[in-house]
Amino acid sequence: MLLRSSLHLIAMCFLLLFAAGPSYAVNPDEILSDKALEERARNLSSGLRCLVCQNESIDDSNADLARDLRILVRERLVSGDTDQEVLDFVVSRYGEFVLLKPRFTTRTLILWSTPVVLLIIGAFALLVLYRKRTIVAPSEQPLSEEEQNNLNKIMKGN
């Protein structure tokens, strides 16, 4: 009976934990009164990385820097910037790392293709080394008369 009630209590705790759902770090004082601008701000901030947490968007982070970035995005939108202008401003200030989904540029192409290139170079090097390791077959020529005499002496133990 005690075990059964304990299991129910544990199950209830898990249900309450997961029923909370995703809670966003956006504070009520940050939310814009214009619903269209707020939606744009949420879309932009969900694609920006928290520089403190590094694995969360600024929308999900409680860090002070993430809050500052959320406010900055909203201020830029209120001042009339387009989404691209806001992103360009944030990237110019904090670098490409601030984007959760980096832009496709030459730099990112080099970054993402380097492991593939190194794998191909390694496979080629292994192939070259494998081909150089050929087993040398013993000579098929018969022994000279002198070599045969020496071998016979050795085999007789003289």
Per-residue pLDDT, averaged over 97-106, amounts to 87
Q: How far apart are CA 100 and CA 108, in angstroms?
A: 13
Q: How far apart are CA 102 and CA 47, in angstroms?
A: 9
More confident site: 21 or 99: 99
Going from N- to C-terminal start, the domains of the chain cover: 16-98, 104-134
Q: How wide is the angle at C-alpha 70 spanned by C-alphas 66 and 74, nearest 5°? A: 165
| 112 token code pair | 């993402």
Global confidence as pTM: 0.57
| 46 token code pair | 């969900």
Q: What is the pLDDT of residue 115?
A: 94
Pick the CATH number of 16-98 from 1.10.8.640, 2.60.260.20, 1.20.1070.10, 3.40.50.1970: 1.10.8.640
Residue 15: pLDDT above 90?
A: no
Tens digits of per-residue pLDDT, 23-77?
456 767 677 778 888 899 999 999 999 988 878 899 888 888 999 999 999 999 9
